[in-house]
Amino acid sequence: MIEHLPALMIAVPLFGAFIAPLLKKKGSAPAVWAVIITGVTLGMALLLVRQVLAQGMMVYVFGADKPTLVLPSGYRVPVRIIFEVDAIGAFMALSATLMSFIGALYSYSHVRNETGLEKYYALLLLLEVGILGMVLTGDLFNLFVFLEIAGIAGSALVGFRNYRGEASEAGIKYLIVSAVASLMVLFSIGLLYGQYGNLNIAYLSTQISFNTVDMIALGILFASFAMKCGSVPTHHWVPDAYTEVPSGINPTLLVATYASLYALFRVSFSLFGNITVNMSSLGWIMSILGVLTMFIGVTMALVQKDVKRLMSYHAISQTGYMLLGVGVGLAVLNDPAKLAAFGRDAMAGGIFHIINHIIYKSLLLMTAGALFYVTGTRNLNEMGGLARKMPYTTIAFIVGAAAISGIPPFNGFASKFLIYETSYQLSPIFAVFAMVTSVLTLASFVKVFASAFLGPPVKKYEEVREVPRSMVIAMLILAALCILFGLFPNVVLDKLVYPAVDALLKLGSYQTWGGLP
Amino acid sequence: MNNVILVNLPFIVVALLLAVGFYTIGFKRNLIKVVIGIEILEGAVNLFLIALGYVKGAYAPIYTMAPKEAVNNMVLPTPQALTLTSIVIGVAVSALMLAFAVNIYRHYGTLDVTKVRRLKG
């Protein structure tokens, strides 16, 4: 049972996605079904994490006599589709399943009055399948297929409110970006396949000699995944997509974005990890992109009037922190002394920031969704005095805003502090930009808090009440996670994050499986 | 010289198609044309994969009823399988994009991408 977990992680949500449309005429049955399926997947992800942390990397070969049999007798190269789950893959899978569960729970009330809900939940589950496939696979072509699944499901969800023209506009933007990015990924997969005749990441990484064609492939892969994870200069689709998507999907869509970030790390550290020369410059490029991303994102956020759009620009800016943290680690990858001194901690900061950011940004976008649910507008200038009417939403918003601004003892502080400390040692300018970005983040959230929750009550909203219970539960779970991760960062770091960092750093253990010569 | 061009002709066509596709996505204002641009890109990538797998004089990778001389002289089946998968995915993407385009035309009354700009800031 345990050895089949990587396959079941895909199979269960896929099964759920195909069953969901059959529940069309049963009222809220699709919602309950989605909560059950995502809950089961979350349980399996927890088992998977436990197994991977205890036993090391899991390899699952589809269609083999035994799921762990990598090389059939007489073969010198791996054939068949192979899933390889190491600590970082398990970490991302846990984030994805957790966020899908919370999203399904929140959607139960949030989109109850819309039509076509069975399709909504089917797409939500398909999006989860796409993310899980991306983070668990060890095969380049599979990565492309799941990237497309996540892209199609995600953009269909962005355009879910099809009675609004804006939703279709944001949806086609997201779809064009993801289609172009994944076609270019396929192109560079073709380049690599043409030279080495294999698609397995671990096998390819032992073979790569870094000639000109490899360099082109690396450049295209890097650019495409950076485009899909919303880094500057191709960040324009992020605010539109995050604003128009229903708030229940936001957590899953965030993880879908970070699955691309994961693919970027996988390409830089595992696929091209053997090359000793150019990785340091790639690390510098990644760090500089990170700094630009965080700064441009936050300055664009400051001037927004739409509450969800403001938070979406912050999502861009926070992606910059992850790029900076992992970029610092990549820049000193081939320098053991510096890597031990600050590189490993920088990467831990970057990867810890992924889960922290997913938690608090989902929380913030959900409070924005709650504001939209009760007021019917997202314009900050039309809101006011909602704190007394919606106490739980207000508490959730304060926790989220404090966490994103890096105020102790919330979780944003723990990861941001690691990034400040370590990026300072690579170049002080990076750390200065990171801190300035934090201050500006706080400033813009003070603006949101003052205009939406404080101030004189607006007459139009005298009748509003707190949002329904399932939305409150979803928000409070996330707020509790924010505080827990902030109070006990060491537990999360030791149990989840450092194993994930080591999985990225130790290329040798990723390459040696199944007795490959 | 002539032979070199003939052997590399598929790759030259791929490069041309990639250029045409990116030009169409970047500079055309009609949304349908942008979708067509993505289709051209997809055609380029699929052609690239097929051209990679082609070996002169080799046999198609069908193992049943294969003639004796085909043993050890077959093209790899992987690129063809990749291309088929990619075509299927491409159909889904283009269907979804066209559906979005139709919906945008219903709401905005135009397909001009410079006028479909209610989301800004």
Measured between CA atoms, the residue of chain B closest to residue A301 is B121
Judged on CB neighbours under 10 Å (0-12, 13-18, 19+), A337 is exposed
In this prediction the pTM is 0.93
Measured between CA atoms, the residue of chain B closest to residue A189 is B49
**∠A112-A252-A352 over CA atoms, to 5°?**
140
Average pLDDT over residues A209-224: 90
CB contact under 8 A, A180 and B41: yes
Alpha-carbon gap: B119 to the closest alpha carbon of chain A (Å): 7
Question: Looking at the partner chain, which of B18, B96, B121 has a beta carbon nearest the beta carbon of A155?
Answer: B96
Q: Are A82 and A139 in contact (CB under 8 A)?
A: yes
Q: List chain A residues with CB under 8 Å of B44.
A: 187
- Residue A139 has φ and ψ, to the nearest 5°, of -135, 130
Q: Are A409 and A487 in contact (CB under 8 A)?
A: yes
A194 touches chain B (CB under 8 A): yes
Amino acid A281: pLDDT: 85
What's the number of CA atoms in the CB half-sphere (13 Å) around residue A252?
Answer: 34
CA distance linking residue A325 with residue A263, whole number of Å? 16
Banded model confidence at residue A515, pLDDT cuts 50, 70, 90: very low
pLDDT tens, residue by residue, A397-445: 999 999 988 888 888 888 888 898 888 888 889 999 889 998 999 988 8
Q: Are A251 and A372 in contact (CB under 8 A)?
A: no
pLDDT at A240 over 80: yes
Residue B18 token pair? 């990639």
**B-interface mutation test, from A62, A127, A183, most B Cβ less than 10 A away:** A183
- Residue B59 has φ and ψ, to the nearest 5°, of -100, 155
Question: Looking at the partner chain, which of A151, A162, A197 has a beta carbon nearest the beta carbon of B103?
Answer: A162
Question: Looking at the partner chain, which of A162, A187, A304 has a beta carbon nearest the beta carbon of B121?
Answer: A304
Amino acid A292: pLDDT: 92
Strand, helix or coil for residue A376: coil
**A-interface mutation test, from B14, B89, B97, most A Cβ less than 10 A away:** B89
Banded model confidence at residue A514, pLDDT cuts 50, 70, 90: very low
pLDDT at A14 over 80: yes
A216 touches chain B (CB under 8 A): no
Helices A469-487 and A87-110: crossing angle, nearest 10°? 150
CA distance linking residue B64 with residue B58, whole number of Å? 16
pLDDT at A359 over 80: yes
Which residue type occupies A490?
N
Amino acid A28: pLDDT: 86
Amino acid B33: pLDDT: 94
Banded model confidence at residue A276, pLDDT cuts 50, 70, 90: low
Question: Looking at the partner chain, which of B44, B78, B100 has a beta carbon nearest the beta carbon of A159?
Answer: B100
Q: List chain A residues with CB under 8 Å of B116.
A: 169
pLDDT at A74 over 80: no
A168 touches chain B (CB under 8 A): yes
Measured between CA atoms, the residue of chain B closest to residue A162 is B103
Strand, helix or coil for residue B121: coil
Q: List chain A residues with CB under 8 Å of B109.
A: none
Pairs of CB atoms within 8 A across A/B: 95
Amino acid A197: pLDDT: 84
Average pLDDT over residues A275-297: 85
CB contact under 8 A, B97 and A176: yes
Amino acid B121: pLDDT: 59
ipTM of the complex: 0.93
